[in-house]
Amino acid sequence: MHKVLIVVGDASETLDTLYPYYRLIEAGFQPVVTAPQKREYQMVMHEVRPGWTITREWEGYRIDCDVPFSDVIVDEYAGILFSGGRAPEYIRYDEDLVRITRAFFDADKPIASVCHGVEIPAYADCVRGRRMATVAKCRFDLEVCGGIFVDEPCVIDGNLVSGRTFHDNGHYVGPWIQLLEAARAGSA
């Protein structure tokens, strides 16, 4: 079974993480959760309520890290997903995560990003000239790092597939899995 990395940290968005996690299993892939350390992580749920100008957050499910960033061997994985939530803002500075991110981009492997997940490849200097969707409040993070913001539920730029928020899961996850399936068929 081909393995696919899912990047999380404390305060990763529950739907951003679990929807692609289970879709990978349905497609015959093994999702592997990676995070700063091998331990349990608390995910959160986000919602912008009518009349609110900020995102409301509350605890979601928890998820275990299968392999810490420091132990990831990129060649063992078919692709990667940068989940959203607040975690990317904090974990993007991890040197091993930067190494992993650059390696996936350099190898042209299927990459997915949703919501705040963009902060990781942006910090790793992998978004220059790339078209991406992200939540509107991360548009600056993308553009200041040379990326091109596109306000659509699914943006495909070569090996990179992105969505704005968990509301776009049904739009961007399928095309990303199709890229993973095509890569799997090519390696068989």
Average pLDDT over residues 142-154: 98
CATH of span 2-187: 3.40.50.880
Which two structure tokens, joined as six digits, stand for 163?
Answer: 């969505």
The pTM of this model reads 0.95
In angstroms, rounded to a whole number, what is the distance separating the alpha carbons of residues 102 and 97? 9
* pLDDT > 90: percent of the chain: 91
Average pLDDT over residues 23-52: 93
Cβ(41)–Cβ(91) under 8 Å? no
H or E stretch at 67:
strand 67-68
Average pLDDT over residues 8-37: 98
Q: Tell me the pLDDT band of 54, cut-offs 50, 70 and 90.
A: confident
| Per-residue pLDDT, 88 | 97
Domain ranges across the chain: 2-187
